[in-house]
Structure formats: structure tokens, C-alpha cells
Structure 1
């Protein structure tokens, strides 16, 4: 049975669409338009009480019973274990992948998200916020570059869920004022991951709803995304 994927085409959404394509698990996409406030609908909150996408419902979960999951990191671990792919059996290797997945979840996602907010979406420029989160984005890129100087992928010699989680964020580095010429190992890694057919398919997620170059956010979308709950 197909997994139901509740999602919108954002870096966090792409993590799961890429993982589903990589693992080969069948899935059905259910758009959650976060600019219109779909994340606040009661039926979605039953699946994702933190009113954030992505989320999944697997009708054939553990023991054959349905399971719903929110938080993209938890979903990636689940998909790896369900499929048996990208789930190293050596505990030391697996924990290395998990460590870098947690690095993305606790660092790259939140810090790049805040950098994007202050640099792109905030209605007024706040120099402190731009500098604070811009510097943190640079620091995290350096961490990634150092790691990728010693290993082919974030988790080590093999591609895995940490790469799936981090790639959608670092691929849009330019919007944060980051230049990959300063991070040659990240550039090599980005090119390698981007060439994977499953990654390319995952990035087609809800393509008709992906923002066009130069497209700006409406005041209504900004209000919904940044604190104002519809209704």
C-alpha cells in the first residue's frame, strides 16, 4: 500500500520526497499549502500536531497497523528501516549517519531557516538578525566542508539519510549569500548528490506549486507563515 505524504515543496518537504524516491517505496502526495494555512486544518493536526509539514501516514506500518509520523528526521529514519535501504547494519556506521542527520535537524534547518527569514522574507531589514543567522549559516557550511574533506558523504563512505536531509538546504546556498567556491568539498558533494536520478525525481515534488524565479510572497502568505493563524 502507498504511503500518504502530506507536504509542500520546501527544503523539509524535499527531504522526504527524495527519501521516498531513493527507497522505492510507493507514495501518494497530498499538498499542504502552507501559504493558505492548510497546516492548521483539524484533519492535518491529527497527523502533525505541531502544525508543520511534512508528515506521512503509512497504512501498512509496524505489525501491519497504520502509523502516522511528523518531523522529517523521524520520517527518514522510518523509511530507511522500513525499506531496509540506507540503513547500515554496522551500529557505528548507523550512528554516524544519525549524528549528521541530527546536525541537520538541529543546526542547518533552523539556522538556514532563520537566515532566510531575515534576509529574504522579513518585512523590514533587521541587521542584527541578518548578521547573526548569516554568520551561523557560514559556520555550518564550514562544518560541512570540513566533514566532506574527510568523507565522501556526511555519514561516511556511503550516501545516506543525512545527505538526503541536508542537500535540499545546501543546494540553495546562494540565497544566503554563500558561494561554494569557498567550500569546494560541499560543491563536489552537491554535484554528486544532484546527479542522482532519485534526487532529481524528488525535486519534482509539486513542481506546479514551486515558486518561480523572482516570485515574491504575498502579505497574506507572509502573515500565515510567520505567526498569524488563519481565522
Structure 2
């Protein structure tokens, strides 16, 4: 019986690897677009907060896992504008959403050369954050649960206007899916990681990730390819 189970697992992995995946698949508002070895995705996270992750890059199927190495994203993403500082002893950040409205409640942190936070402030109802100028500031990080995150180099005597997109854009990340079942018209998968710490993970590393996340990720997603008439 044990040998039969092992054989069935190997056969399933071979079938998933052998089957070419192409076209666009949807699950509600989530989508996956496969084009040769390139994949563009827009997917909600597993945390139930409704955060949507977007990205694109090359992918490969390793046994029953899809490994995506994301690249520069061609869709909407966060923009950062600079201007000379209004006050020489103050750094001003102003945060807007895609529609030009101020965002209240965004975390802003100046970072030193070791990427350690030197302070923490929250944007006010005008989307403004003020920091005292400090020669040790090397970068600035802004983050919010419902918007994109951004970390950028700091230039002295500069103020920043930051336009955050609502999607979390993944660039230079390794995204991992567990591929449970694959047909010509449907993919059943689990999202295991949006930021895995290995760009070319081994099968054993992927299996460890799958085992580690089983207790917290129980939702399989069924992506369906629309019928063409």
C-alpha cells in the first residue's frame, strides 16, 4: 500500500509538470495570466483583510509547486515625487491614494544605514508626516495594511509626495503556490508565500514550506479559465 501511495504521488507530480499551463484563469476578482514562461497575477492574501497582491515574472513548475520570481511590474504602482524642502530642519511626507485623496494612518519610519527604524510616526488627516532632519537618515519606509509599502533612499533637504496604490505590488520577490490539481480549464491551488526567502528553492525546501503552512492556510483556490465561444 505504501509503495502504491508513493507511485501515485510521483504520477501526479509528473502529470502536473507535463501539462502546459496557458491563458487566463479567474477566481472571483483574482486572476492568473500564463504566457509561455511568464505569469502575471492579481490575488488576495490569506489574511482575510482583502489585501490584493499584484506582480509578474518568470515561473516554473517544480513537482506540484509553482515558483514565481517577480520582476519590475508594468501595471499601476506607487509613485514618489520629490521637491526642495520647505523647511531646512524638517522632512515632510504627504501621502495620497490613487484618486488623489489624503491617506490618514500610514506608518512612516526613517531608517539608518543598517535599515533600522529611528522613529515612527503616523500620517494625519491631511496625509502629512513631519520628521526632524537627521544626518543619520539613509532611507524612509511607509506602510499600511490596506495599501502598498514603499522604502526609498532619503536625500537631504528634500520633501516627498507619495502616491500609494491600494494593491501590494510584489517586485523582486519569490511567490509560491501549491498546485493541487490541474486541468485544461481549472487550476486548484494554495498560496503558500508572497515573499519566500529563496529565489530558487529546492523540492525539500518547498515541501517544508507546505508542511509549515498547513495549519494556517487551509483554503484552496479554484481558478477557472472562461469558455471561449
Common topology (TM > 0.5): no
TM-score normalized with structure 1 length: 0.21
Answer 1 or 2: which has greater helix percent.
1
Larger radius of gyration: 2
Answer 1 or 2: which has greater strand percent.
2
TM-score normalized with structure 2 length: 0.22
